[in-house]
Amino acid sequence: MTNQQKLVVAVSSRALFDLDESHRIFEAEGKEAFCQYQIEHEDEVLEPGLGFSLVKKFLAINNESPEDDPFVEIILLSQNSADTGLRIFNSIAHHGLNISRAAFTSGMSPYGYIPAFGAHLFLSANTDDVVKALDAGYAAATILSSCTASQYPDQLRIAFDGDAVLFSDESERIFQQKGLDAFTDNERNSAKIPLTGGPFKDFLQALHYIQKTFGEESSPIRTALVTARAAPAHERVVRTLRDWDIRIDEALFLGGMAKGEFLNAFGADIFFDDQKGHCISAGQHVTAAHVPHGIANEF
């Protein structure tokens, strides 16, 4: 596997570790007090954050790859300085995470380093950074909840919403502006016209590349599409994925039903959705991440 084919995931320090206490100091007392706090506590190990268990499962995929050519690399993107970030790398070492590359930006948004590192996905606790990354054309999401108990400890399970996540929001705009009947008519009439790719298409493609190196039964990754669409609007989705030559292992067309129980049944390690309300509901069952993209996030 070449570096171009490696799956690269960038994660912020606040998504990886619990930095709530130092963040409160930053907001209440300012940058100088925050820096002093971090230096004074740099030998204290940070507790796992909302994205910690997910990062561990990403890294576990490398157990199936050659030692010198891993399938997955995790990059740290942090608004800390290198000086105050020492505690973060100390904690990475303590928890045994194989993370060696990082960008410390001293208060500036780190999203600009996503293409330099070749990252397919950016996970953060900072919505502003996520929006900037999405606006620049990169897959990004704000982690809102965490569920550390995994039904499938030896397999990473990732679930996606469809419109405005895997696909563009072109159909969602019709639904929001003209209603369900107009949406259904459009999807029926456009059934054989592939949807345009959304911000997570390339990330799904990178996952699919790893999956193709394994048989379906032995793949360390399993994916699911969990969408409010129903028949007949499902046909365009199926034909779009076929046109992209990307495999989705499971597809759930729920016709507006709540997604949480289905995500729990799938055993999702993370679920990406453009609607925050769906993420909050799903977060009662699985780790959920909000993708603030498309018409649902314009108002």
Residues taking part in catalysis: 161
Side chain identity at residue 153, one-letter code: P
The partner residues of 221 in beta bridges, in order of sequence, read 156
Residue of 151, 160, 156, 126 lying closest to 285 (CA atoms): 151
**Residue 150: strand, helix, or coil:** coil
What gap in Å lies between CA 106 and CA 33, rounded to an integer? 14
The tokens of 13 are what?
Answer: 């320090």
> In the chain, where does DSSP find H-type helix?
13-16, 20-29, 31-40, 52-60, 86-94, 114-117, 127-135, 170-178, 180-189, 201-212, 234-244, 260-266, 276-282
Q: Which residues contact 25 (CB under 8 A, 6 or more apart)?
A: 33, 34, 37
User: Residue 265: which of 96, 122, 151 has the closest Cα?
Assistant: 151
